[in-house]
């Protein structure tokens, strides 16, 4: 059944303000395309790497232009909805704020694309933030008015926005669903990654695969022991004999912990009246120093661009040194996996 809505005479200006965003994104797309050609960054790469930016100012300008475009696309769905909705109640205000936002985005883009990110708001781009806040709070106010019934509802079932001369437009209710899906689809598209539903059968299959990997890893026990011994020998040759697992044998003789351990052992032996027996523990996977991870990986990369990677996080802080010696072995070949990146 068609739904009738009533729009004010000045709503054409609201439409023009919304249409201006199309010219805005076309301008940004052209700017990014030209910057890509000058920098030599090929598709499908989204940004230039840090070393490329250090060597070429054109690569830096490309990244800045690309970021200005992406930032605009992140805000655009909200701006379009606020402009069209607020325009039903206050068309002149909505058209003015929408036009200011589009114009300020041009200044924002030109400042950003200069290669100096600090200039993105120094050339008038900050007016876009003011316009956005006006659209946001204006739409919220209009929404409250609609909820309180202050938008007049004529007998025909339409929404009467004001008392001026108005045009009546009949649209199918389906149009509302399409428009809402498009607006919210843009929001979702800017930040992809839906929650994945995992069927209980898949959970059980993964558990069986995990158990199978542990069983397979036990076949590599001799190679793991050899690999650990080789690493210990390498550390000893490197002048680091103090790197060993802590235990009772590592307690310095004569110290308080050493004497306390001796007293506990002596008391336990003196109190014993028999021999305790128990079945040897049975493990279904490798214990202590070995863990088994899934050999399958999804498409990467996982690293954060320009992230600082450190292998020594002590800096100038005092304390007890904790060194982690991590070895990665391929359970299918029982051989060390070279060039593995492990992040903790």
How far is 183 from 190, CA to CA, in rounded Å? 11
Residue 21 has pLDDT above 80, yes or no: yes
Q: Do residues 29 and 69 lie in contact, with contact meaning Cβ atoms separated by under 8 Å?
A: yes
**Mean pLDDT within 209-229:** 77
Nearest to 220 by CA among 333, 307, 106: 333
At 127, list the tokens.
């007016």
Q: Which of 38-52, 281-295, 321-335 has the highest mean pLDDT?
A: 38-52
Q: Which residues pair with 330 in a beta bridge?
A: 335
Q: Is residue 37 part of a domain?
A: yes
Q: What is the pLDDT of residue 286?
A: 45
Q: What is the pLDDT of residue 153?
A: 46
**Mean pLDDT within 314-327:** 75
Q: Do residues 72 and 24 lie in contact, with contact meaning Cβ atoms separated by under 8 Å?
A: yes
The tally of domains found in the chain comes to 1
| Long-range interactions of 154-160: CB distance < 8 A, separation 24+ | 154/6, 156/4, 157/3, 157/4, 158/3, 158/4, 158/5, 158/6, 159/5, 159/6, 159/88, 160/6
Q: Which domain holds residue 122?
A: 2-190
**Mean pLDDT within 1-27:** 84
CATH number at residue 30: 1.20.120.550
Asked if the peptide bond before residue 177 counts as cis, ω within 30 degrees of 0, the response is: no
Q: What is the pLDDT of residue 178?
A: 41
Q: Is residue 118 part of a domain?
A: yes
Q: What is the pLDDT of residues 80-119, one digit of tens each?
A: 999 999 999 899 999 999 999 999 999 999 998 888 888 8
Q: What is the pLDDT of residues 137-147, one digit of tens each?
A: 999 999 998 88
Q: Is residue 108 part of a domain?
A: yes
Q: Is residue 72 part of a domain?
A: yes
Handedness of CA 253, 254, 257, 262 (dihedral sign): positive
Q: Do residues 97 and 147 lie in contact, with contact meaning Cβ atoms separated by under 8 Å?
A: no
Name the more confident of 315 and 116: 116
Q: Do residues 11 and 88 lie in contact, with contact meaning Cβ atoms separated by under 8 Å?
A: yes
Helices 57-89 and 173-190, packing angle to 10 deg: 150
What does each C-alpha distance from 337 to 227, 267, 326, 327 come to in angstroms? 12, 48, 11, 8
Q: Is residue 268 part of a domain?
A: no
**Mean pLDDT within 191-196:** 51
Q: Mean pLDDT lowest for which of 41-55, 84-98, 128-142? A: 41-55
Q: Is residue 7 part of a domain?
A: yes
Q: What is the pLDDT of residue 7?
A: 81
Q: What is the pLDDT of residue 310?
A: 74
How far is 258 from 255, CA to CA, in rounded Å? 5
Q: What is the mean pLDDT of the chain?
A: 74
Cβ neighbourhood burial of 327 (10 Å; 0-12, 13-18, 19+): middle
Residue 213 has pLDDT above 50, yes or no: yes
* CA Rg value for the chain: 33
**Mean pLDDT within 225-250:** 68
Q: Mean pLDDT lowest for which of 110-114, 210-214, 218-222, 299-303? A: 299-303
User: In terms of DSSP H, where are the helices of the chain?
Assistant: 11-39, 50-55, 57-89, 91-112, 127-147, 173-190, 200-218, 221-237, 256-271
**pLDDT over 90, % of the chain:** 26
How far is 304 from 81, CA to CA, in rounded Å? 33
Q: Do residues 261 and 251 lie in contact, with contact meaning Cβ atoms separated by under 8 Å?
A: yes
Residue 340 has pLDDT above 80, yes or no: no
Q: Is residue 215 part of a domain?
A: no
What does each C-alpha distance from 312 to 158, 245, 246, 321, 322 come to in angstroms? 68, 20, 21, 10, 10
Name the more confident of 249 and 100: 100
Residue 163 has pLDDT above 50, yes or no: no
At 76, list the tokens.
């655009």
Nearest to 89 by CA among 162, 188, 35: 162
């Amino acid at each position: 059944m068609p739904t009738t809505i009533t729009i004010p005479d000045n709503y054409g200006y609201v439409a023009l303000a919304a249409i201006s965003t199309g010219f805005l994104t076309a301008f940004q797309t052209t700017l990014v395309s030209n910057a890509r050609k000058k920098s030599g960054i090929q598709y499908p790469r989204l940004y230039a790497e840090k070393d490329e930016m250090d060597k070429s100012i054109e690569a830096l300008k490309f990244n800045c232009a690309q970021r200005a475009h992406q930032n605009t696309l992140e805000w655009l769905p909200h701006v379009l909805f606020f402009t069209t909705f607020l325009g039903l109640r206050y068309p002149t205000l909505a058209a003015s704020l929408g036009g200011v936002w589009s114009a300020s985005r041009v200044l924002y883009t030109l400042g950003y694309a200069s290669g100096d990110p600090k200039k993105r708001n120094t050339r008038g781009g900050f007016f876009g933030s003011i316009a956005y806040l006006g659209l946001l709070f204006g739409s919220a106010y209009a929404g409250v008015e609609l909820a309180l019934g202050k938008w007049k509802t004529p007998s025909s079932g339409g929404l009467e926005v004001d008392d001026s001369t108005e045009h009546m437009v009949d649209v199918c209710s389906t149009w509302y669903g399409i428009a809402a899906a498009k607006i919210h689809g843009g929001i979702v598209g800017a930040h992809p990654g839906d929650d994945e539903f995992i069927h209980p059968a898949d959970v059980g299959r993964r558990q069986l695969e995990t158990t199978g990997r542990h069983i397979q890893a036990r076949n590599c026990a001799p190679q793991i022991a050899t690999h650990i011994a080789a690493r210990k020998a390498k550390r000893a040759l490197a002048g680091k004999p103090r790197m060993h697992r802590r235990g009772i044998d590592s307690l310095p003789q004569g110290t308080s912990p050493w004497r306390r351990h001796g007293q506990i052992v002596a008391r336990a032996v003196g109190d014993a009246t028999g021999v305790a027996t128990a079945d040897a523990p049975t493990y279904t996977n490798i214990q202590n120093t070995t863990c088994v991870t899934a050999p399958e990986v999804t498409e990467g990369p996982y690293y954060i661009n320009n992230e600082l990677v450190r292998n020594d996080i002590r800096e100038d802080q005092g304390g007890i040194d904790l060194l982690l010696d991590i070895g990665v072995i391929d359970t299918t070949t029982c051989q060390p996996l070279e060039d593995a990146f492990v992040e903790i």
